[in-house]
Structure 1
Amino acid sequence: MCKWILTNGASAFSHLPCCCLLLVFLVSSVPVTCHDLGQDMLSPEATNSSSSSSSSFPSSFSSPSSAGRHVRSYNHLQGDVRKRKLYSYNKYFLKIEKNGKVSGTKKENCPFSILEITSVEIGVVAVKSVKSNYYLAMNKKGKVYGSKEFNSDCKLKERIEENGYNTYASLNWKHNGRQMFVALNGRGTTKRGQKTRRKNTSAHFLPMVVMS
């Protein structure tokens, strides 16, 4: 536009004084556009927020819409293996004997009570006796047993309760919509999953570190 005024439009302003022509030249040469005005009207805070909005979240984070339901975090990651003893609220160490029988013992040095707890999914673990090589399992009827091979019965949901103890519920099996938990009664015998509840202390276990 400025070029057009200075060349093609020169004859239109030939009758004006030199001072007016100079004024027209100065005004028309100022590079003012709507885009520049829009940028100048933005406050520094707005500019900073718009530029940082795309870079404020690391690539490893996902938006709330894609993250789905919140999953409680644990101190271990998938694939982590911990060597522990599970000490029940009823003062028994959970053990899995060489014939696959699951029960509790008061003996602190019982080799069958040394367990490997392996994370197979987030919040889901497999528990295996180091001595007997049997996995802690629960079938769809709520029976707790030792499985020589890892299968769907061996997947247990590990949760830290408010009292600091852990509970272990079957991942795949429920009874009337209720979760079924691994539990030891006052005699150190396993309970049927149908008779257990999360708040029952018989289903509460304290993982104790095994010193190798």
Structure 2
Amino acid sequence: MWKWILTHVAPSFSHLSRFLLLFFVVCYVAVTCDEVGTRDSPHSAEAATNSSSGRHVRSYNHLQGDVRCRRLFSFTKYFLRIDANGKVSGTKKDDCPYSILEITSVDVGVVAVRAINSNYYLAMDKRGKIYGSKEFDTNCKLKERIEENGYNTYASLTWKNNERQMFVALNGKGNPRRGPRTRRKNTSAHFLPMLVYEGISSCFM
């Protein structure tokens, strides 16, 4: 259309009028192309979708991240378990149902660990005590990190002791160590996530 205007209409205008007409046509084409490009952009479509849904693009629902079913095998040769009473300890038995854990990502590098059969979450209070919690709260948020030896460590996201992180750890007898007595380099705080296989039987003290 703008080519037809320049060919048939422009010659009847003065030089100034033709310049203004040409300027108008160029601006019209530029604005039209910009609107088409914006409408076709995947980023704008994504932004429009998230705007209409009323949520931020990087937000996600509580406890709906990556979920893994694992056993945590400590460097001290114990499987971490949370029994029917919420007691946290280690067991040598590889068929203990209370050692089957659901590890769920709740944020980047942060997980919730829940014993499937007892339905208790692994938690640490401000004094560094390890326990099982029926409700998921701030004490249940653990920072998961893969160490250089290939084992994982789990530190409290909320609590520290003198600015030092406190870690979930099992000593040589399979008992939990208090957070203030743990360090990242302590092998008692190192766990190897292991796949869960079928054929689980009961376990005993």
Q: Same fold (TM over 0.5)?
A: yes
Deviations 1:118-153 (A, max 9, x none): 000010000000000000000000000000000000
Q: How does 1:78-157 map to 2 (within 5 A)?
A: 79-157=65-143
SS at match of 2:118: coil
Q: Which amino acid aligns with 1:158?
A: E
Q: Distance in 2 between matches of 1:211 and 1:89?
A: 20
Q: How does 1:198-209 map to 2 (within 5 A)?
A: 198-209=184-195
Out of 161, 165, 169, which is 2:151 matched to? 165
Aligned to 1:69: none
For residue 211 of structure 1, report the CA deviation from its aligned partner: 2.5
Runs of 5+ consecutive residues of structure 1 not aligned to the other structure: 1-57, 60-77
Q: Distance in 2 between matches of 1:165 and 1:80?
A: 19
Out of 158, 163, 169, which is 1:177 matched to? 163
Q: Distance in 1 between matches of 2:148 and 2:159?
A: 24
Q: Distance in 1 between matches of 2:186 and 2:76?
A: 11
SS at match of 1:206: strand
The answer to which structure has the higher helix fraction is 2
For residue 81 of structure 1, report the CA deviation from its aligned partner: 0.5
Runs of 5+ consecutive residues of structure 2 not aligned to the other structure: 1-41, 44-63, 199-205
Q: Which amino acid aligns with 1:99?
A: N
For residue 87 of structure 1, report the CA deviation from its aligned partner: 0.1
For residue 100 of structure 1, report the CA deviation from its aligned partner: 0.5
Give percent identity, aligned residues only. Answer: 74
Aligned to 1:13: none
Q: Distance in 2 between matches of 1:205 and 1:89?
A: 6
Q: Which amino acid aligns with 1:197?
A: R
Deviations 1:38-61 (A, max 9, x none): xxxxxxxxxxxxxxxxxxxx96xx
Q: Distance in 2 between matches of 1:165 and 1:142?
A: 21
Q: Which amino acid aligns with 1:125?
A: V
Aligned to 2:16: none
Q: Distance in 2 between matches of 1:144 and 1:138?
A: 5
SS at match of 2:98: helix
Q: Which amino acid aligns with 2:185?
A: K
Q: Distance in 1 between matches of 2:66 and 2:119?
A: 18
Aligned length: 138
Aligned to 1:193: 179
Q: Distance in 2 between matches of 1:155 and 1:133?
A: 16
Q: Which amino acid aligns with 2:69?
A: K
Q: How does 1:7-46 map to 2 (within 5 A)?
A: none
TM-score w.r.t. the length of structure 2 is: 0.66
